[in-house]
Amino acid sequence: MSDLAQLENEILADIAAAADEAALEAVRVAALGKNGTVTALLKTLGTLPPERRKSEGPLINGMKDRVNAALAARREIFKTAALEARLNTESIDVTLPVREAPAEIGRVHPITQVIDELTAIFADMGFAVAEGPDIETDDYNFGKLNFPEEHPARAMHDTFFFDPKPDGTRLLLRTHTSPVQVRTMLTQKPPIRVIIPGRTYRCDSDQTHTPMFHQVEGLVIDKGSHLGHMKWILEEFFKAFFEVDRVGMRFRPSFFPFTEPSLEVDIQCRRDKGEIRFGEGEDWMEILGAGMVHPNVLRNCGLDPDQYQGFAWGMGIDRITMLKYGMPDLRAFFEADVRWLSHYGFRPLDWPTLAAGLSPP
């Protein structure tokens, strides 16, 4: 075998043996690089006499072409192998379950849902939503609402007080949403029609009481607003909220410092093996406190009681939520247990409207 043929065989064997791109590149440099074996041969061509150049030139160039072709073929093999390896590791098993989108997993808390529902109902009747701070002054929570100083009703509310300030006044966590009545009357001119949903606080905790709970207040002030209007509004509300055609209601005399007369409202229900149905039956359930806004409260809020009058009511949101959606334990509402929430919570995109239905199917 000629030296040329032997060199070619060696190079081709090295190409075949190269395990990866780097090894292959080393073989290429050794043969065709600046100081490569084939390059050295090509350089000798120039020194040869013309007739030898004629015979050897094609031999050496032919060898160079075959080496180049072998290098390209080997490179192609590496490329295919790399692609195949990538395809194998990046394959998708289409039979695997699809992971749910965050909007599908998240749940709306029942309290939030019910606040949205009752806002939709009252908005349909022309009510706006008013809000106030959870931390209130003694004056707004009690004073302007006609609670006399040292009145036992203040103690009745089991108030969480903050430490007194140097001037002797002390802030508190509002015990009801009624202080927002005051804030509304101080800043808006009648006619006023607002509902006030929000958090309220009392130092009380057992199976039916939590230290933080929710109320929704209603306030209507105009020149001729009276309890007949309120009765209609509440009746329409309960029918829409509990999704029934009829709601029996009963008004009983009561006492609140900020209303005169004051009353408590019961709605008719039937208790059936732990289930409660509304609008029928022979039982009554106390559901809210209400009354005509006391002239002193109007006066305290800058309104002339000879010109304006109105009514207000306050209702526990947690309770009506438990009643509507059959939740047995109030305390679970505030334990932040995702298992409870995924069971009782509402899908985030099922926004309650009167047109499309209040509660999700």
Contact letters for ligand DAH, residues 321-340 (x by CB under 6 A): --------------------
Residue from 142, 313, 333, 346 that binds ligand DAH (CB under 6 A)? 313
Q: If binding is defined by CB under 6 A, does position 178 make contact with ligand DAH?
A: yes
Q: Which is nearer to ligand DAH, 74 or 176 (CB)?
A: 176
Whole-number CA gyration radius for the chain: 42
User: What contacts 277, CB < 8 A, 6 or more positions away?
Assistant: 269, 270
CB of 178 to ligand DAH, least distance (A): 4
User: What contacts 298, CB < 8 A, 6 or more positions away?
Assistant: 185, 221, 304, 305, 308, 309, 310
Distance CA 108, CA 356 (A): 18
Residue from 132, 289, 310, 352 that binds ligand DAH (CB under 6 A)? 289
Kindly determine how many residues on this chain lie close enough to bind ligand DAH according to the rule CB under 6 A: 11
Q: If binding is defined by CB under 6 A, does position 301 make contact with ligand DAH?
A: no
Q: Which is nearer to ligand DAH, 7 or 159 (CB)?
A: 159
Q: Which is nearer to ligand DAH, 11 or 115 (CB)?
A: 115
Q: Which is nearer to ligand DAH, 124 or 158 (CB)?
A: 158
Retrieve residue 303's tokens: 């309104």
Distance CA 188, CA 15 (A): 90
Contact letters for ligand DAH, residues 66-105 (x by CB under 6 A): ----------------------------------------
Q: If binding is defined by CB under 6 A, does position 314 make contact with ligand DAH?
A: yes
Q: If binding is defined by CB under 6 A, does position 257 make contact with ligand DAH?
A: no
Q: If binding is defined by CB under 6 A, does position 256 make contact with ligand DAH?
A: yes
Distance CA 330, CA 211 (A): 11
β-bridge partners, 173: 135
Site residues for ligand DAH, 116-175, by CB under 6 A, read none
Q: Which of 200, 135, 132 is nearest to 161 (CA)?
A: 135
Of 87-95, 270-278, 297-305, 307-315, the window that binds ligand DAH (rule: CB under 6 A) is 307-315
Other Cβ atoms closer than 10 A to 235: 16
Of 71-79, 135-143, 288-296, 318-326, the window that binds ligand DAH (rule: CB under 6 A) is 288-296
* DSSP reduced 3-state for 187: helix
| Region of residue 274 (phi > 0: left; psi between -120 and 50: alpha; otherwise: beta) | left
Residue 40 identity:
A
DSSP states of 141-182: HTGGGT--TT-HHHHHTT--BPPPPTTS--EEE-SSSTHHHH
Pairing mode, strands 128-129 and 192-201: parallel
Q: If binding is defined by CB under 6 A, does position 221 make contact with ligand DAH?
A: no
Of 59-67, 104-112, 126-134, 283-291, the window that binds ligand DAH (rule: CB under 6 A) is 283-291
Residue ranges binding ligand DAH (CB under 6 A): 176, 178, 217, 256, 259, 289-291, 312-314
